[in-house]
Amino acid sequence: MEEARPHTARLSFADRLRGRLAPLWQRRRFRWAAIALGGMFTAILLFWLIFARGLPDAATLLEYEPPLPTIVRDINGQPVHSYARERRVQLQYSDYPPLLIRAYLAAEDKTFFDHHGVDIPGFFGAVFDYASKIGSGQRAKGGSTITQQVAKNLLIGDEYSPTRKVKEMILAYRMENVLTKQQILELYLNQIFLGRNAYGVQAAARAYFGKDVADLKLQEMAYLAILPKGPANYRPESPTGHERALDRRNWALGEMYKNGWISQAQLTEAQAQPLGTVAQHGSSFDARAGGYYMEEVRRRLIDLFGEKAEDGPNSVYAGGLWVRSPYDPKLQEGVATALRNGLLRFDAGKGWSGPVGKIDLARGWKRELAASYIGIDYAGWRVAAVIDRSSSGAEIGFSDGTTATLPASAAQMPYRRAGGPAFNSMKPGDLIVVARNGSSWALRNVPEVSGGMLAEQVHSGRVLAMQGGFDNRLSSYNRATQAMRQPGSTIKPFVYAAALDNGMTPASIIVDGPLCVYQGAGLGQKCFRNFSGGSAGPQTMRWGVEQSRNLMTVRAASQTGMDRVVRTIKAMGIGDYQPYLSFALGAGETTVERMVNAYAMLANHGRQLSPKVMDYVQDRRGKVIWPLRWRACDGCNMANWDGKPMPRFGFEGRQVMNPMTAYQVVHITEGVIQRGTATVLADLKRPLFGKTGTTNGPTNVWFVGGSPDIVAGVYIGYDQPRSLGGWAQGGRVAAPIWKAAMAPVLETMPKTPFVAPAGIRMVTIDRRSGKRVYGVWPTDDPKPAVIWEAFKPESEPRRSIRKEEVAAQEQAAQRREARAQTRQRTDSDFLQEQGGIY
């Protein structure tokens, strides 16, 4: 007995198990049961490997957010634009009318609230239908429940295969364990594609009926409920689709009746109604609104948050952002119209500039024209494709598919590049611009010259309006923010600001005479002189700014030091230039946006501003996500005062220029409007400051300026810089455009004077000599002998002039001006044209 125990202990577990199972295995029932259990386990393993492994987690749908468009609101809080690739409006389950939900259940899944994700009878019917259609090329019935459709659309895709159907069923079962029926329906009704680029039922209600879901009638609900099976089959625009839609809609109404969800009377009345759909249209927002402004907002949003859903949860085309912008529709319309009219005036009489684009007619002109995305929004003008041309006229086609005839007689303006009538140069495939001419059409010309304009609030930096060319659908290049141009004489106020910061005053005498500067061994000596060869001699700084005297500017920059000048220009955000004298005359490059912002900082007493096309950005739930340190103004919208201190906004930017210097520059440049190079604005009869500019060539003409509350700037020039013609000047071309855009806005604003900062001393001086005057007061004459001048403490003139000397000097000055006007070209004319002598 003692010797047997070690032998028994040495038997392995497998041997003992085999010994016990061997008798059982001899029994047939046990053997078949084991084989069946093993087969079932193997089947489950294979099923998991083939179908269930790697499926997404249904719980992710608890946090799923459908792609939503970004909406931009204007300065008044009204939605004006959207960035969307899918038209969708997200609603909660409670927002959908119960009858609308029942319409979808009747058409798609009448047992939705009874099954657990899969309709077994429907599934086997779909399997039989699939087997019967194998090899026929026909697509079998879906047999999918609403839960399965959500799984397909959101988790696994629309692959047509039995494998996908099984995966869909597994996910549907899992979803029913995670989500409530109401949550599943909410996902479905917000996600489903229903045609006309409408995703979700609310978007479809607007696309097909111009209504919200709460306003839909029974027959309209039934029509929307049939669309998930295939919106293209029920297009109301085609006769076949319209007939199919009526039949299928009435079937859905019948199913609602069978389920007891509507009465016989409701059924009869609804089935007797027409479809009632509205014509297909684009977004509910005016795509033309904003133009360049809205494109600039889009660019900046993409830089901040990305473009697509893959770029993050707050992307422009999927994040559902709400953007509050300072965009002013009324001012934008005025800016756009003024710039366009100015471009047309300048370009008038120069002939046809050529087609605005070309398409390949072999690919179909309708499709190619639509794909070009070239359009125009001006005075009823339209872009048309030249389809064919004969000696008497050309057949043209429009984006809506219609055609017309352009008579040869209506296209006789000369072609500026080749000579001869424009009609002779047209070729099939050219995209041209035409307008109604009675019952026919006539050729129109898009100006070859271009430009940009921008308006900004002084105290906040908010950009109210922006126009970057003739039409953003012809060219998306924004000349207000992207075009780098030479500013010419508009840079001079900042040159003189540096001089004022370094010992000069508005009454300082600067010699208007030849100036030679040694530029080093390589460049030698550079001499500047006036075009006429003469000079005005010693003059006040103010006179030099008002008359835009280049030689005085160069001398002031030289005396101040160009290193100080370029530091001032950089501090104002205009550009980072080298300390060369030519930059004091506008040889550097900058943008309209930068120049306008710099002038706004002058009017803001030298405090830094950043141009803003967005006030703040909210995510889809309303949380402000930009700017990062944004804070709500608590108490700003109270109905009544609560007795506590009023909420006040603090200053945002740092001080980048002495406030007294900034005011002195503004005060001096008010004289540019009153008696200088921009007197075209004087009849507005309100406090304005600004400066004209014209660069070498002249290639660019400018005007930048404004009131204490709003500053705007405009430039005109060719995209590939070339001469605009010797007569072009900032005061003649740019300032009138500024006036046309801003005059209507300024009329609605109070005539607020520019307020001097603390420390400024207002002193009466002789305008010509800069000497202090006692006992004489300035008059309303635009060219008074005595004016108020702004000085920093202890910098006002010490020497004075007698009253009788003032009158004598003024008479002498008038005689000099009279003699100057007899010349064919004055120094002022030349210096306006030569914004940079370099």
Cα(first)–Cα(last) distance of the chain, in Å?
121
Please state, in angstroms and as integers, the Cα–Cα distance from residue 632 to each residue in 283, 564, 619, 629, 635, following that order: 31, 40, 15, 10, 9
Catalytic entry in 82, 108, 508, 535:
108
Nearest residue to 149 via CA among 228, 51, 60: 228
The two tokens of residue 163 are: 């494998």
> The tokens 């005011």 sit on which residue?
663
Distance CA 442, CA 394 (A): 11
Active site residue 489: yes
Distance CA 425, CA 415 (A): 7
Mapped to the 3 state alphabet, what secondary structure does 603-670 carry? Answer: HCCCECCCCECCCEEECCCCCEEECCCCCCCCCCCCCCCCCCCCCCCCCCCCECCCHHHHHHHHHHHH
- Dihedral sign for Cα atoms in the order 685, 686, 691, 697: negative
**Residue type, position 237, single letter:** E
Distance CA 434, CA 422 (A): 13
By the 8 A CB rule, do 155 and 58 touch?
yes
By the 8 A CB rule, do 518 and 495 touch?
no
Give me the helix-helix angle, 218-226 and 201-209, nearest 10°.
120
**Residue type, position 589, single letter:** E
Please state, in angstroms and as integers, the Cα–Cα distance from residue 626 to each residue in 76, 593, 651, following that order: 19, 22, 19
Q: Which residues pair with 430 in a beta bridge?
A: 358
Distance CA 780, CA 673 (A): 14
Strands (E), 669-794: 689-694, 701-706, 710-717, 761-766, 772-773, 786-791
Distance CA 480, CA 494 (A): 20
Distance CA 665, CA 662 (A): 5
3-state secondary structure of 122: helix
**Residue type, position 249, single letter:** R
Nearest residue to 55 via CA among 164, 146, 194: 164
Rg, Å, the chain Cα set? 38
Distance CA 546, CA 457 (A): 25
For the CA atoms of 153, 156, 158, 159, what is the dihedral angle to 10 degrees? -170
Mapped to the 3 state alphabet, what secondary structure does 167-204 carry? Answer: HHHHHHHHHHHHCCHHHHHHHHHHHCECCCCEECHHHH
Active site residue 108: yes
Distance CA 515, CA 527 (A): 6
Residues 6+ apart with CB under 8 A from 236: 208, 242, 245, 275, 277
3-state secondary structure of 592: helix
3-state helix, strand, coil in the chain (%, to 5): 40, 15, 40
Residues 6+ apart with CB under 8 A from 309: 67, 315, 317, 318, 319
Pairing status of strand 800-801 against strand 772-773: parallel
> The tokens 């060719």 sit on which residue?
718
3-state secondary structure of 690: strand
Catalytic entry in 489, 769, 795, 828:
489
Catalytically annotated residues: 108, 489
